[in-house]
Structure 1
Amino acid sequence: MREVQIVYENKRVLPGETLIGKVYVKTDNLLECNKVVLKVKGREHTEYSSGDTKSTDERYHISRVFKIGERGIIGIGVTEFPFSVQIPRGIPPSYQGYNGTIEYTTEAVVEMNWTIDPKCKKEFRVIQERPPIIKHNLDSRHFKKTCGALQVEIDDDFLGMQSGLDVRFKVSDRSRVKGVSFEIVQQEKCKCDWHDLNHKSIIVGKYCPFSDNDLERWKELSIGEQWMHHLPFRGELIHVSYYLKVALDISLGFDPEIIAPLKFADEESIDDSFDKVEDNLDWF
């Protein structure tokens, strides 16, 4: 029996931090090896298919091999090989998207002669830095836009990680208006060979029904509170951004809509409640 296992001390790391762990080799016979190596890779991959045609593209943010065990005999039982790997700064986060993925892995290999090398591969996650802290500016409306009977105003030019985004809106024509929809849309742009791929998905959605009493009245709605998704980022092949779409829901007609690009910011904490949920943020 020959078994290899990778155990991380910290399987989620920021760019610039150190990935720490151990490789365990378990065997019921003496095992002669040339060396034990740890392969660390960070691959950004995109894919496109149309009919019988399929294209792929990839870039490597990490591609390194570390020797963690010397040539010799591995004894019966369990032998451990500790490792620590410095993760480069400035690399994009782990990501699973529609047309592309960014995956970071380690692979431990016991290199031997004249037989199959025992090995084990395991993923780790590169998480995102928190955005800068920005105070709310209540002195002016950052965003104002009108489309047909719909008017939208937004105080800040960023979405707060905890409080979300406050949106003021007004409808000036009741004709066939059933309500107002609010959507935070993720836009994923990918390059795959000569193809430019664009995919949009709704991350958060809210709906405000409309009545005659709401005509010509300013109303307010918050969206995107307690953000637990990816932040915007740009890799070599994948670019992720977000925008807010506000649209009138009109019976049997074209729905006027207003688009507002989104940025993100951390906020000054009133208490330590956010620390309690931070460990659950799988998007970081």
Structure 2
Amino acid sequence: MRCKIYLENNSHAVYYAGDTLKGIVEVKLQQTKRIQGVYFIVYGAAKCYWTEERAQSRGSGGNRRTVKKAFNYEGKEVYLDTKTYLLGTPEGRQIKMRNGTYKFDFSCHLPRSLPANFDGSFGHIDYYCKAVIEIPWGFDEDYKIMFRIEQKADLNDEPLLKIPSHSEEIRQYCCLFCTTDFLIFTVTLPFTGFAPGQIIPVTVNYNNKSGIEVLSTKISLKRIIRYKGDIPHRRTNVDIEKIIEDYHDGVDGSSSVEFVKNLKLPERMINTNIKYSNLIQVSYEIKVEAEVPDCHKNAVIIIPITIGSVPLKISQSDYSVSETEINFSEPNTSEQNGNGSTIVAYPDVHSNKQAVTSPAIEGNLPLPPPPPFEEALEVIRKSPQNHVKLKDERTPEITLTPANLRT
């Protein structure tokens, strides 16, 4: 017996959420065989698993000791689970299939809410379809192939992402029995939705009257992956990946400065999927840290952002920063700093002594077209019991020969 699964008009077995999965199951028999039926399963789920070690005290008194114990956590969330009989019924009569070739059509709508495939350190999201031949008084025989789901994450569907984000941190520092004046530290983003390949303009402003020098400014983009297990009890494992990290000059203890740092996103990124999956959630954040000396605590501002496939429809004039928008007077000095960006000094409108500086914008901030989705180079997970063979470029043919079946 041989079984072949054909996916209709899909050579890479990659589908968008909302598409329809169609194809043919072909069964070839070389001799007569009795079966109960043939059914087709389409399944998709997320699974996570990890191990944590904790110290526990055992014994009492002089025999008390501390030992490490391993705790295993796991979780599962099902997104798609359909079962359709292509031949026969579970309670019906047995069917005698003579030698020959049998073909069965299948079709399954893929909901728009399906999360995209994901493979992480502590979990994964996978999808597969499987044809099962029920054998009465024997072991059923199944034939499975994997397929991938991609999400058309259009950022324009969420209007709140077009709103600028402005965060402020105010700090005072202690010097012996005295308290310094304020350090006012602000970070602004023109909007909070971005597509891979775009530029994130991060505007940082310091108004420092504390007398404490800000040594440098660290700006980073991080991906946060949360795995949520519920066995043996609820537990969340957070995996943080640093995507981009860059540095800029700080500010001395009695002056003000404003600059824009452009972060270029990679061309390939995992989309934010918080609204599609509860078990494995991918999110992003911009973290800006003002690093100060000695034992003083750094000022930190974190702004969550959303990564999607289709960029926001916003003109460049809506978010580009120009010198006139900074609302300063004409510059009276100009110099190059160590990292190559131009710092323009403006006289402070509030004081004749203090100057406020702002960098020249590093060129235009274009919105490039969204990059194409990642092509699936390997869409079928091979099994030791399966032999995979692609015969047609347009229609994949998967030939599977179970190890426990004689042909």
Same fold (TM over 0.5): yes
Shifted more, 103-112 versus 66-75: the winner is 66-75
Letter in 2 for 1:245: K
Residue aligned with 1:229, SS: coil
Letter in 2 for 1:166: P
> Given the alignment, which residue of 31, 48, 55 partners 1:46?
48
Specify the alignment match of 2:259 in structure 1: 218
In structure 1, C-alpha distance between the alignment counterparts of 2:166 and 2:201, rounded to whole Å? 11
Residue aligned with 2:40, SS: strand
Specify the alignment match of 1:23 in structure 2: 25
Unpaired stretches in structure 1, ≥5 consecutive residues? none
Q: What is the 5 A alignment of 1:110-189?
A: 110-133=133-156, 142-146=165-169, 151-170=186-205, 175=213, 177=215, 180-189=218-227
Specify the alignment match of 2:300 in structure 1: 257
Pairwise CA distance, 1:99: 3.7
Percent sequence identity over matched residues? 17
Shifted more, 93-102 versus 117-126: the winner is 93-102
> Given the alignment, which residue of 174, 193, 197 partners 2:236?
197
Q: Quick one: structure 1 residues 152 and 89, their matched pair in 2 at CA, closer, same or farther if it must change by over 3 Å?
A: closer
Pairwise CA distance, 1:199: 0.9
TM-score for the superposition, normalised by structure 1: 0.76
Letter in 1 for 2:46: E
| CA shift digits 1:61-92 (9 cap, x unpaired) | 2222112245442535x644331112234343
Q: Quick one: structure 1 residues 189 and 112, their matched pair in 2 at CA, closer, same or farther if it must change by over 3 Å?
A: closer
Establish whether residue 4 from structure 1 lines up as the match of residue 42 from structure 2.
no
Q: Quick one: structure 1 residues 118 and 182, their matched pair in 2 at CA, closer, same or farther if it must change by over 3 Å?
A: same
Unpaired stretches in structure 2, ≥5 consecutive residues? 53-68, 89-94, 172-182, 316-367, 377-407
Establish whether residue 244 from structure 1 lines up as the match of residue 286 from structure 2.
yes
Pairwise CA distance, 1:225: 5.5
CA contact 2:155–2:193 (8 Å) conserved in 1:
no
Q: What is the 5 A alignment of 1:29-68?
A: 29-50=31-52, 51-68=69-86
Letter in 2 for 1:105: Y
TM-score for the superposition, normalised by structure 2: 0.56
In structure 2, C-alpha distance between the alignment counterparts of 1:37 and 1:278, rounded to whole Å? 36
In structure 1, C-alpha distance between the alignment counterparts of 2:373 and 2:46, rounded to whole Å? 25
Letter in 2 for 1:195: R
Specify the alignment match of 2:336 in structure 1: none
Specify the alignment match of 1:104 in structure 2: 127
Residue aligned with 2:257, SS: coil
CA contact 1:147–1:257 (8 Å) conserved in 2:
no
CA contact 2:167–2:301 (8 Å) conserved in 1:
no
In structure 2, C-alpha distance between the alignment counterparts of 1:63 and 1:232, rounded to whole Å? 20
Residue aligned with 1:152, SS: strand
Residue aligned with 2:156, SS: coil
Number of residue pairs the alignment of both structures matches:
276
Q: Quick one: structure 1 residues 164 and 26, their matched pair in 2 at CA, closer, same or farther if it must change by over 3 Å?
A: farther
Pairwise CA distance, 1:278: 2.1
Pairwise CA distance, 1:167: 0.8
More strand by share: 1
In structure 1, C-alpha distance between the alignment counterparts of 2:373 and 2:193, rounded to whole Å? 23
Residue aligned with 1:93, SS: coil
Establish whether residue 280 from structure 1 lines up as the match of residue 345 from structure 2.
no
Establish whether residue 82 from structure 1 lines up as the match of residue 84 from structure 2.
no
Letter in 2 for 1:156: F
TM-align CA RMSD:
3.9
CA contact 1:206–1:223 (8 Å) conserved in 2:
no
CA contact 2:226–2:239 (8 Å) conserved in 1:
yes
Residue aligned with 1:133, SS: helix
Pairwise CA distance, 1:183: 1.8
Q: Quick one: structure 1 residues 204 and 216, their matched pair in 2 at CA, closer, same or farther if it must change by over 3 Å?
A: same
Shifted more, 59-68 versus 185-194: the winner is 185-194
Pairwise CA distance, 1:217: 4.5
Pairwise CA distance, 1:170: 4.4
Specify the alignment match of 2:363 in structure 1: none
Specify the alignment match of 2:390 in structure 1: none
In structure 2, C-alpha distance between the alignment counterparts of 1:79 and 1:155, rounded to whole Å? 60
Letter in 2 for 1:4: C
